[in-house]
């Protein structure tokens, strides 16, 4: 089974094959997702919300991201593992960003994702890519800029902002980014930008024309119920599956239907006899 590389991802765009991507944060889920054949697994800073219960992605730092990244990397053979650079891990200086990106690669990521397209982010992207750390960029609605953007708002609803994002995307492409996540932008903007880039776009709430799609796994599986954006398609309802299973378990425990004989370790007859118990055959 061949590992997916940034080059493979770029080739998928050229071949007209859509790129599949989803988040994961732990070993066992990453293993299932990888074996199902996904192209990219993102260890997203959405872990702050869906794994750790924070209200925004600002709650997570490098310590947690390294733990989630290494857990996912241990479960994956084929997919490319991309780790998010969390809020506060690259804003202070380019050197801080380089050091933290190195730490995510050491933790097992094959690439890092960075939000934003300012000249500072373009410079950081160039520093990382020239030193062997592939970068997936992230434009449009960028959750780490929530306070500056003033809430969860669809971006690039007009021509001017679309041109602005395209300009940033072209600079990031020139700096070596192998792809660009486009989040919550109008479908027209996503199509316009996608057609003018050589590198692939991966959309989330960006319509059909992007070169690939990405979603948060807890949304896809119906496990995270605090907030469900319009762009999510739910493929399962794990909330009820888990709840029903746990209710059955509680009922079995309360009514002594669990454990059964097949779940129990028993002494042999000699040892049972020493404690005054009848042999297994008689009991």
Binding footprint of ligand KIV on the chain (CB under 6 A): 23, 42, 44-46, 84, 181, 183, 204, 214, 216
Shortest CA distance to 32 belongs to which of 70, 62, 77? 77
Q: Minimum distance between the CB of residue 35 and ligand KIV, rounded to whole angstroms? A: 21
Closer CB to ligand KIV, residue 175 or residue 215? Answer: 215
- Sequence-distant (≥ 6) Cβ neighbours of residue 270 within 8 angstroms: none
Pairing of strands 212-215, 201-204: parallel
Instruction: Give yes or no for a contact between 50 and 90, defined as CB atoms under 8 angstroms apart.
Output: no
Shortest CA distance to 104 belongs to which of 78, 135, 76? 135
Q: Given the residues 115, 126, 183, 191, select the one marked as catalytic.
A: 183
Shortest Cβ contact with ligand KIV: which residue?
44
Is 256 a residue of the active site? no
Shortest CA distance to 136 belongs to which of 273, 255, 19? 19
N-terminal to C-terminal alpha carbon distance within the chain? 52
| Distances in whole angstroms, Cα of residue 164 to Cα of each of 29, 153, 169 | 37, 17, 9
Catalytic residue numbers read 183
């Amino acid at each position: 089974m061949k590992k997916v590389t940034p080059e493979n991802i770029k080739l998928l765009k050229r071949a007209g094959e859509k790129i599949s991507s989803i988040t994961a944060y732990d070993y066992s889920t990453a293993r299932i997702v990888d074996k199902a054949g996904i192209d990219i697994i993102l260890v997203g800073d959405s872990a702050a919300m869906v794994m750790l219960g924070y209200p925004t992605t600002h709650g997570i730092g490098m310590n947690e991201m390294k733990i989630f990244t290494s857990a996912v990397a241990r479960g994956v053979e084929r997919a490319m593992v991309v780790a998010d650079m969390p809020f506060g891990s690259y804003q202070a200086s380019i050197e801080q960003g380089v050091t933290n990106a190195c730490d995510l690669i050491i933790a097992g990521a094959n690439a890092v994702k960075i939000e934003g397209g300012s000249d500072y982010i373009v410079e950081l992207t160039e520093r990382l890519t020239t030193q062997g750390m592939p970068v997936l960029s992230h434009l449009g609605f960028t959750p780490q800029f929530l306070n500056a953007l003033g809430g969860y708002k669809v971006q690039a609803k007009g021509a001017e902002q679309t041109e602005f994002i395209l300009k940033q995307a072209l600079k990031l492409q020139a700096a070596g980014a192998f792809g660009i996540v486009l989040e919550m932008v109008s479908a027209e903007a996503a199509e316009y930008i996608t057609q003018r880039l050589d590198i692939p776009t991966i959309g989330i709430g960006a319509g059909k024309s992007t070169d690939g799609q990405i979603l948060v796994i807890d949304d896809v599986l119906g496990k995270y119920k605090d907030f469900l954006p319009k762009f999510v398609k739910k493929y399962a309802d794990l909330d009820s599956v888990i709840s029903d299973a746990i209710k059955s378990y509680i009922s079995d425990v309360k009514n002594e239907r669990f454990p059964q004989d097949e779940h129990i370790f028993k002494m042999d007859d000699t040892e049972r006899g020493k404690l005054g118990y009848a042999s297994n055959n008689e009991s």
